[in-house]
């Protein structure tokens, strides 16, 4: 069965320091993986996605993630945190091969990122 | 292009009532998915519609139902509301339903059940 584990429920960094949000997954197939961000009182926005092309994926706002099949990980990183990065981040795995090729999305519980001045 | 819109944005109901939420997808998108978001449970998938047909369903009771119209707009209905139904209900639209496709989310409807 598929699953997604976001290893930290809360991460706190200082402005200008690196960000690392960790995500491990399990999947029986070749999954697609996504990171979404949710700012307070705003909708979910796609940061980046991996769909079996390059293993290092660059997203918006300077974020990137690396797909590591051997470690079943898809950690999100950013070299230098900005105050505006404070938000909730969700890792999502999408498996193919369900009836009629309909996707099944599994969402992590989220990591709350705080950025201190 | 206009984004995904959801109406109403906020709703207050009492136990036992029923509620209907509406979602208008991005123009050209034929898939609409619904999620329930609560602090304790995170995002829980409700169901997905594509071309007016329910393609996928999560593990929610039959009180939760949905439909999609020919213009791809979707509604979800919750009957006999319970306190535990208080949540942010999110709608997402996409072009297709395969695993590589990106979903675009609306701002959500905040439902409070008293």
The string of pLDDT tens digits covering residues A2-39 is 789 999 999 999 999 999 999 999 877 778 899 999 99
Helix (H, G, I), strand (E, B) or coil at A46: strand
Closest CA in chain A for residue B5: A43
What stretch of H or E contains B36? strand B31-38
Instruction: Give chain A positions within 8 Å (CB) of B92.
Output: 44
Residue B34 corresponds to which tokens in the numbers above?
């619904």
Query: Is residue A99 scored above 50 in pLDDT?
Result: no
pLDDT tops 80 at residue B43:
yes
* Dist CA A35 CA A113 (whole Å): 14
Residues in chain A within 8 Å Cβ distance of B46? none
Q: Three-state SS across A49-95? A: EECCCCCEEECHHHCEEEEECCCCEEEEEECCCCHHHCEEEEEEEEE
Token code pair at residue B42: 């995170």
């Amino acid at each position: 069965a598929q699953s997604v584990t976001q290893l930290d429920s809360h991460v706190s960094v200082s402005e200008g320091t690196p960000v690392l949000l960790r995500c491990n997954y399990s999947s029986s197939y070749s999954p697609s993986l996504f990171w979404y961000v949710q700012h307070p009182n705003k909708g979910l926005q796609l940061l980046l996605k991996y769909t079996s092309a390059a293993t290092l994926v660059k997203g918006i706002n300077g974020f990137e993630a690396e797909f590591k099949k051997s470690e079943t990980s898809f950690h999100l990183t950013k070299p230098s945190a900005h105050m505006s990065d404070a938000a909730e981040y969700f890792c999502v795995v999408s498996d193919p091969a369900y009836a009629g090729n309909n996707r099944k999305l599994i969402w992590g519980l989220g990591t709350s990122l705080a950025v201190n001045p | 292009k206009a984004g995904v819109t959801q109406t109403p944005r906020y709703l207050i109901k009492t136990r036992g009532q029923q509620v209907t939420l509406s979602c208008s997808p991005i123009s050209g998108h034929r898939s609409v998915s619904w999620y329930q978001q609560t602090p304790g449970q995170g995002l829980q998938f409700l169901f997905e519609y594509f071309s007016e047909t329910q393609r996928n369903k999560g593990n929610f009771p039959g009180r939760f139902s949905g439909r999609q119209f020919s213009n791809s707009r979707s509604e979800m209905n919750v009957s006999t509301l319970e306190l535990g139904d208080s949540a942010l209900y999110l709608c997402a639209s996409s072009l297709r339903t395969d695993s590589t496709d990106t979903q675009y989310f609306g701002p959500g409807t905040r439902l409070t059940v008293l």
